[in-house]
Amino acid sequence: MAEFKRLISLDAFRGFTIAAMIMVNNPATWAHIYPPLEHASWNGLTPTDLIFPFFIFIVGVSIALAYTKRLNAGVAKGPMYKKIIFRSVKIFAVGILLWLFPNFNFEEIRIAGVLQRIAIVFFVCAFLFLNSKWKTQAIVAGALLVIYWLIMQFIPTPGYGKVMLEPGANIAAWVDSKFLPGYLWQKTWDPEGLLSTLPAIATGITGMLAGHLILSKMPAERKVIYLFSFSFFAFVIGFFWNYIFPINKSIWTSSFVMVTSGLAGMVLAISIFFVDVLGRTRFTKPGIIFGSNAIAVYVLADVWRLPFYTLKVGGSSLNNHWMNLFENAGWSMELGSFLYAALFIGFNFIPAWILYKKKIFIKL
């Protein structure tokens, strides 16, 4: 079998990634979290640090699959360009609106953000895909990572007179403080800032390269072997690059890109083998349901947070009542915080399931 009719594994991978993103963003309390569900304080990697780059990798794979299909169907590039621009603007605007919700204090508007970064990566990668071959795309990704590494490690931070990689004292933070308008997540810099978006684009391109491989004419089993092998090679590059340019999600270092893209590719390869090649789809349904409206569900989760965290019942919010229950019973506070996040995912699954059953797919 050289080609797949549709990658069920990719749909499920997208959905489970969004579910994980919602889970780590919504514990009952940030004071009690299992360590794997927290981001690394600075350098290093936790399972939580994998979620965002995994999703951007998936965006890249989806671009390759979707736009190859349209090109093969004879769709002109002009209409595709317009849709790419419109979709990017929509995602970017929704990201800003979510930050403003519910108070809409425009004096503290945040231009950067998760959805904003996704919009930029999608825009750049989609245009690059439609106007270049895979070799050019690989060269662009490599150039972005090397240039970013050179900038971060060889240009002294203004005001310090030396190269810095510490929080708020690196060249990426300086660029944010000088050129990124609006509210910054860390006051003087932003983890979704301007300069660190360049290697994030490279993450999207690695997904596109995986998509090219998946679309190739070789047998399915060989695709899986090559995808896993190249992904492992990328992981090894990132592992050793870490010794001179530490793995760091907050500034999206080049080693972070290689390690996370490598892991994402290996997870996708394993998923394709078991789900699409062997046909073991039993546990994929929840992921497919979440993934069919991935960004819409992510947006809905942010809206759902209002009653879950601010609605007062008996003088206290629902999450505080929940944690008081665990504290009074002498149960694990970390477990209580985790179960609340799991419950929150369950509530978000309901509208996702309704949309899926009614075959309503919201394309943000």
**59-84 mean pLDDT:** 96
Distance CA 2, CA 21 (A): 33
Residue from 188, 247, 184 nearest 53 by CA: 247
pLDDT at position 364: 78
Q: Residues 6 or more apart from 327 whose CB is under 8 A from it?
A: 333, 336
pLDDT tops 80 at residue 85: yes
pLDDT tops 50 at residue 316: yes
**Could you tell me if residue 26 is inside a domain?**
yes
**Could you tell me if residue 353 is inside a domain?**
yes
CB 49 within 8 A of CB 251: no
**Could you tell me if residue 200 is inside a domain?**
yes
Give the domain extent around 57: 8-358
pTM above 0.85, yes or no: yes
Token pair listed for 42: 């600075």
Band the pLDDT of 315: cuts 50, 70, 90: confident
What is the domain count for the chain? 1
**Could you tell me if residue 2 is inside a domain?**
no
Band the pLDDT of 3: cuts 50, 70, 90: low
CB 258 within 8 A of CB 241: yes
**Could you tell me if residue 71 is inside a domain?**
yes
Token pair listed for 162: 């030396």
pLDDT tens-digit series, residues 171-184 = 999 999 999 999 99
pLDDT tops 70 at residue 254: yes
**127-147 mean pLDDT:** 98
Other residues' Cβ atoms within 10 Å of the Cβ of residue 28 = 27
**Could you tell me if residue 3 is inside a domain?**
no
**Could you tell me if residue 296 is inside a domain?**
yes
Average pLDDT, the chain: 94
Least confident range from 2-16, 78-92, 100-114, 156-170: namely: 2-16
pLDDT at position 224: 96
pLDDT tops 60 at residue 1: no
| Better-scored residue on pLDDT, 207 or 306 | 207
Contacts 24+ apart (CB under 8 A), 94-103: 94/295, 94/299, 94/364, 95/119, 98/299, 98/302, 98/303, 99/183, 101/302, 101/303, 102/306
Distance CA 199, CA 333 (A): 37
Distance CA 249, CA 260 (A): 10
**Could you tell me if residue 364 is inside a domain?**
no
pLDDT tops 50 at residue 2: no
**135-153 mean pLDDT:** 98
Distance CA 185, CA 301 (A): 20
Band the pLDDT of 4: cuts 50, 70, 90: low
The pLDDT > 90 percentage for the chain reads 89
